[in-house]
Structure formats: structure tokens, C-alpha cells
Structure 1
Amino acid sequence: MKPKPTGHFQMKADGLYLQFDRLFRAPIEDVWFSITNPGFLSQWIGTYTGSPATGGVRFKMTAEGEDAPWENVAILECSPPHRFHLDVGDAPDGWRMHCHLVEGSHMTTLTLAHRLTDPSAAAEYGPGWDYYLDRLEAARRRTPMPVWEDYSPAFSRYYRELHVPEPARG
């Protein structure tokens, strides 16, 4: 099956986020394990060193090749098995992300959001997050990993044309 872009913009109190929602037929603790356990993370996105309990780790994306840089990650909030908020990288190039999980009817919804300072950056980040979330699903199902060329540049137009919501007026 050919992959499809799934991201959308969401305006939050601290800015514009590119958000992705995925539904898993699994308990919340199982999905939490898939997005936080270093052994499982390495199957679909990356690896980290250090102890999350300290509030910071160093993270490297494994599907980016051997030359992928290590990034500093500040753990702003971690409430297992429901949410974590992170700052990834160092200013001014760093970015904020969060993952929220909600369970209902024996299914878990994972919401991943990446804060953008410029909506046009969605054309770069959107295909990447769709790719990595599809890798997460493939790792969980133990099926072959998706192919990056099916995502970029194929999804870039979708993300360039996304509607940017107006900031809430208060």
C-alpha cells in the first residue's frame, strides 16, 4: 500500500505545531514502550545515551545514516505512559516536540507534534515524520520498513499547501 501524508497544523498556546495522530490496536503501556524503550526505538527511529531521569539525553537518528549527528535533548515533561515533551537540539536550530497517548476501547492513539517557527518548514518535516511513524508501525508489526523515496519529495506539495490556522484571539 502506498503511503499517504497524515500531518495537519494545530495552533497551541506556545505556537504552531505540525501534528500527527496514529491509532494502534494495543494497550497504552505497549505503545509507550515502543516510543521510549531504547532497544525498540533503535528499530524505527534512533538511539539515545544517558539517563532520561536526569532530564536530558543525547539522541541520534539511526535511519539517517552513519553520519547523523548526536542531538542534545531536554526532557521538559515525562508522565508515563501518557506524555512527554522535549526540546531537541540546541538554539537557534533546536525544536520542541511532544507525544501524547490516550487509550480507549482497547486501542491507543498516539499524537506526535513538532513545533514550527515557520509554516513552510512543514514541507521538510512533514514527509520525515510520516516516514518515521510508518517505520514505527512497521517495527511494531515486524513488517519491512518503508522506503524514504516514497515520502520525499512526494509529500512536500501536500505539506506546502496545508492550511495554517489563525492564532486564537483572547
Structure 2
Amino acid sequence: MSPVPTGRLFRTDTGVDLVLTRRFRAPAEDVWASLTEPERTARWFGPWEGQAAPGRSVKVRMVFEEGAPWMEMRIDACEPPRHLALSTVDEAGSWHTELLLSDVDGGTELRFVHHLRGAEGVGEIGPGWEYYLDLLVAARDGTARAEFGAYYPALKGRYEALTAE
């Protein structure tokens, strides 16, 4: 099955926001648990350890990346079950993301926002987040995980085209 990209770019005062969405037939509290409980994040992103709280950092193991490296992730805001803001700094730069949950049509919509300084690299970033969000869907549905090759470089051109809109 081919991935269905949902990403869109929105210009902001400080750069651009890359926004991707997924819908779930589940209450926000259950989706929130998939985003925040280490045994559940391990199924689609990676497990984490530490004391999670706003202003604190946790260590996340990126099990779906080559070498399964650990990275530090700061919790900038946590308002269960609606809003989680995270940031990290690594060799790729600084990353600022938000996960926003809202009730939609008897289920829950996840809006994933990656705040970017500019659109550079969106051809790599967008397909990566599509992959991870589809891993979340597969983990929740109990379906097979997609291969990263279906996302990158397959979706790179589609994301680069967003910068021209």
C-alpha cells in the first residue's frame, strides 16, 4: 500500500509550520496514551525513560533509525489529553514539534506540527514524519509496518513542491 501524504506548509512569523494529520476511531485519552506512555511509544517511535514533566527532558531510543540511537527530548508543554510540545537539539539541528488532539466525528484527530525556521530540508523531513505517523496508525491498528522506502525518497518531490505554493 502506498502512503497517503497529509503534510501541508503554513508560513508563520518565524518560519514555516509543517502540519500532518491522522484520524483515529478512539477517544483522545486513548490516542494520548499512544503518544505518551513509553510501552506504547515503543511500538511506533521508540521507548523513553526519565521523569516526564514540562521543563524536564527524557531520553528516547529511536528504534526505527539506523543504530537505534538515544536522543534527549525536552517537554516544553504537556496538557493531557490535548497538547504536547517537544524540542530536541542534535547533530541535525534543533527540532520543535507539537502534537494536538481534538475531537472530530466521534473520534480523535491528531495534528502534528513541526515548527521550522524555513522550508529547507522539508523534502526529507516531511516523508520522515509521514512514516512515523503511519507507524503510529499501524501500531494502534495492529497492522504491518510500512517500509521507509515507500516514504523516502518516494515522497520527497511532493514535499519539495509544497515550498513553491
Letter of the aligned partner of 1:109 in structure 2?
E
Give the count of matched residue pairs: 164
Tell me which moved more, 89-98 or 31-40.
89-98
Question: Partner of 1:168 in structure 2?
Answer: none
Question: Partner of 1:102 in structure 2?
Answer: 102
Rounded to whole Å, the distance in 1 between the matches of 2:89 and 2:103 is: 30
Question: Partner of 1:151 in structure 2?
Answer: 151
Q: Deviations over 1:23-82 (max 9, x none)?
A: 1111000110111110010111112110102621111211113x2332221111100000
Runs of 4+ residues over 4 Å off in structure 1? none
Q: Secondary structure at the match of 2:5?
A: coil
Question: Partner of 1:86 in structure 2?
Answer: 86
Letter of the aligned partner of 1:23 in structure 2?
R
Question: Partner of 1:121 in structure 2?
Answer: 121
After superposition, the Cα gap between the structure-2 partners of 1:104 and 1:39, relative to the gap in structure 1 and judged at 3 Å, is: same
Taking only aligned residues, the RMSD between alpha carbons, in angstroms, comes to 1.8
Identical counterparts, % of pairs: 37
Unaligned runs of 5+ in 1: 166-170
Question: Partner of 1:76 in structure 2?
Answer: 76
Q: Secondary structure at the match of 1:85?
A: strand
After superposition, the Cα gap between the structure-2 partners of 1:40 and 1:113, relative to the gap in structure 1 and judged at 3 Å, is: same
8 Å contact from structure 1 (residues 9, 164) kept in 2: no
8 Å contact from structure 1 (residues 58, 73) kept in 2: yes
| 2:25 corresponds to 1:25 | yes
Rounded to whole Å, the distance in 2 between the matches of 1:49 and 1:63 is: 17
Unaligned runs of 5+ in 2: none
Q: Give the TM-score of the pair, scaled to structure 1.
A: 0.89
Q: Give the TM-score of the pair, scaled to structure 2.
A: 0.91
Rounded to whole Å, the distance in 1 between the matches of 2:75 and 2:12 is: 19
